[in-house]
Structure 1
Amino acid sequence: MKENPINVSIKGFAISDISNFRYGQQLHDQRFFELKFRRPLIGDPFSLGTGDPESYAHQPVTLQFPGAFGKMRSVSGTILKLEFISTAAQAAEVVVSGTMYQPGGYISKFSLALMALLICPIIFAGFLFFYVSHFNHSLSKTEGTVSYFNESGTKGTHNYTFKISPYQTFFNRSYHTPVFSTARQNIDALFNAADGTFDENLTGQKVTFYIVNTDQNRLNNRDGKIDFLYMKSAVTPHVKFDYYYDLLIYITDKTWFYFVWITELIMEIFFFSCALYCYKMYALDQQQKNRILWFTSLFIAALLNIGVLAMML
């Protein structure tokens, strides 16, 4: 940071006549600084009496630096010591020393870690969706008539097994209880009786589904099992979102649940870290008006925490 601050705000009073500014050693993402400005005249709202300097210790200070496009960049800090110097050779000056967080143009390791926590799941999701698009080209649409159906499973998991003529093999698929259960609803709709109840003995429905191209030569293997994707009634229209969502679940090999869980956990850590970041940057124990940033970060982290815990049940 090469620029000197344009303004310094202490206890609500702005000082712009800064004669000297320097900063030094970094400690816990903060930097020590020292600045000088001409001592206000007696009678000025910010004038200093002989007993005043000690009362400024540990008070918040805001330094404003020139930013891009003519905008100001504000940096918060804490005063460690304030003193005034008066000699016969020069005008009386006030010397302020303290610590400031995030000097203009400097990105700390702490900030980079926060950004990485936010960006990593986004990058991972990008690669995942790219592979879904690629995987789509390796599937073949298949049609047939349901001749056998069985549903089984444990808590949170549903396993579906079909026999579909004219093919000899079994078609199988397992689903974790998803956030959006469209794929399961399409299957369950095949076995809804006229009164709306579920009857797994209903057969004879024509269905469409997708299989991997390499499984084409296994369709007549009596003892084999083939995974199916996006099975639905032949008269039900094709919904692109539901189709790609089912592919996403399949590609993650039943780990999509854990992907969502880990993403929410990372986001929760991110917002808790943001709360810590805000506390350190804005000295919230002294600057009440900035507490909204802290409370917002904690609130979002708490909501994500509820989601993380709920998905563990």
Structure 2
Amino acid sequence: MLLSAAKIALVLVSVSVSGQDGLAPPLSPALAQHAQQRTLVLRAGEEVVGEAVLIDSNGSALTTLEAAKRVASGAVVGENASISVAYTVRRTDPVSGLALLAPAQAVQGAPYAALASSATQGIGLAVVPEGAVRVGITRVNLPGAVGPNRVYSPLTEVRFEARSSNINGAPVFDANGLLVGILSSALESPNPAATEIGPAPPVVAFSVGTKTLARAVATLQDRNNLSHHPYIGVRYGDSTQGVVILSVSAPSPASAVGLKEGELIRRAGQRVVDSALDVAEYLYSLEPGEMAVFSVESRGIQRTVIVPVGRYPAAGQAL
């Protein structure tokens, strides 16, 4: 399920969401403490290599693949006010671009983040290496592609002020203290030469959406190494004639039911297909085990094809 860069390009304008701009009152100290207790700063010696968020009481933590690469390459300690322990990479999820870290020694009773069922625009909180900062969750469900394989996934846009140049793996919490995102990229980064006086530079950053986040956690914690991301095994794109199937993986659910390269996708479920994004959004809405229904055309002849939705095949691979 790949989209071209042109289909996922985002044009963004940064704005300030600092505590002085009148958008909302400052977040409570209790919420900041709640978030910081569930966040780890990842350090290799004195160098900050990223952040992670605790997702179970045994100290397992979620971070980005980029931060996980640094963890895999050497001794890295995850720490906050109550935890300081070495971490290793346990599993990775190339669909979401996230990874699961495991503590080298047992951590009992660690406070961990609960996932939000959905994200809405509003004020939240992110934990960067310097501490908790108030953020604006400014847009949700933005079309995008994530992970090394550029798989379609809606994105959440977050805007805030911070002096940190390293937000990789920084968790984002909503006003109820629920985890709504893991920051993996920034459109604008702080200028290290900027003055320490006055407001910090504005930052626009992105996270996978809450559904992708939940699927990633389920994938990384699955005892049978099964992916929880939907997959049918087709690559498609826009053409002058409509949305065309560019290739079909074999074996895959799509190849098993006879979808073929060069066929045009006219309908996906109940919707008429106008662009590759329509197909991507439809497939993303399905879960493994459900049925994807397509109307496809070849040489002027249309047919209906029902494809059992499978699981993405690259779950749990090592770095």
**TM-score, structure 2 normalization:** 0.23
Considering fraction of residues, name the structure with more helix: 1
Considering fraction of residues, name the structure with more strand: 2
Greater relative contact order (Cα < 8 A, sep 6+) = 2
**TM-score, structure 1 normalization:** 0.23
